[in-house]
Structure 1
């Protein structure tokens, strides 16, 4: 694998991390689901979601009056082969429930989350096969 190929893989996977944050924040179920493999899994501390149907259902049930922003940072992707990579990233999450439009009050972050990703190359391009997330800090 050339350095250019490695950098291209890293960039494709970093883009998935950014799309995850933006899709979650904008209630974009199709973009959210589309970054995962068909049998992709999102493993969270209290529940796991596996497959496009479960991920889509999660997004459909997310209250529309939740305003959030996931500020994704410190993302590092390690290419482990021509068709596999893993990633580690953080997100500072701001959230306001009951949002009715306009600016929301800024009360500081709700949490800082750490993500561990397994990326795979599919016929449709790079996707997340597994995303494990857990809060490092949570507002009391």
Structure 2
């Protein structure tokens, strides 16, 4: 087992992270579930979506909302468990508004994704992603 994470692996995992938010922010739900292992999961608050069917339904419902959103991700930290499993943490800032036009906005949420990645025959996939809000907008 090698605990060093190769640059090509880092790039592939970074691409997964970027595609996750790009698809949700740009109303492109196609292929969202394919970012995950077949039994992969995404949990945010009390809701958890497990498996490709549930993940595809989540992405379709989220992108169908009449909202404009953009998510900034940074500080992608990776820790190898073994050659086929890597843990990760990603900080995010989410901007979201109900209208689809340039306008002033405020931060909707600041949080962290806790991730588990698994190497599959199709490449690296998200096995588990849990979103935890650290800060949220004032009500």
Q: TM-score, normalised by structure 1?
A: 0.89
Cα distance in 1 between the residues matched to 2:46 and 2:104: 27
2:102 matches 1:111: no
How far does residue 106 in structure 1 lie from its aligned partner after superposition?
2.1
Gaps of 5+ in 2: none
Aligned-pair Cα RMSD in Å: 1.6
Give the 4+ runs in structure 1 shifted more than 4 A.
Answer: none
- How many Å separate the matches in 2 of 1:114 and 1:123? 28
Distance in 1 of aligned mates of 2:81 and 2:13: 12
Change over 3 Å in CA distance of 1:138–1:40 after alignment to 2: same
Q: Secondary structure at the match of 1:31?
A: coil
> 1:85-131, CA deviations, whole angstroms, 9 ceiling, x for partnerless residues?
011011100001132xx42x222210002000000000110000000
Task: State the 1:21 CA deviation.
Answer: 1.1
Q: 3-state DSSP class of the match of 1:11?
A: helix
Matched, 1:78 2:83: no
Residue number among 123, 127, 130 corresponding to 1:125 in the alignment = 123
Unaligned stretches of 5+ in structure 1?
Answer: none
Q: CA deviation at 1:52?
A: 0.8
- Give the SS at the match of 1:54: helix
- Equivalent pair of 1:112/1:138 in contact (CA under 8 Å): yes
User: Bigger CA drift: 119-128 or 21-30?
Assistant: 21-30
Aligned residues: 136
Deviation at 1:67, TM superposition (A): 0.7
* Distance in 2 between residues matched to 1:44 and 1:64, nearest whole Å: 17
Matches of 2:82 and 2:3 in 1, distance apart?
12
Counterparts of 1:89 and 1:56 in 2: how far apart (Å)? 22
* Counterpart residue number, 2:25: 25
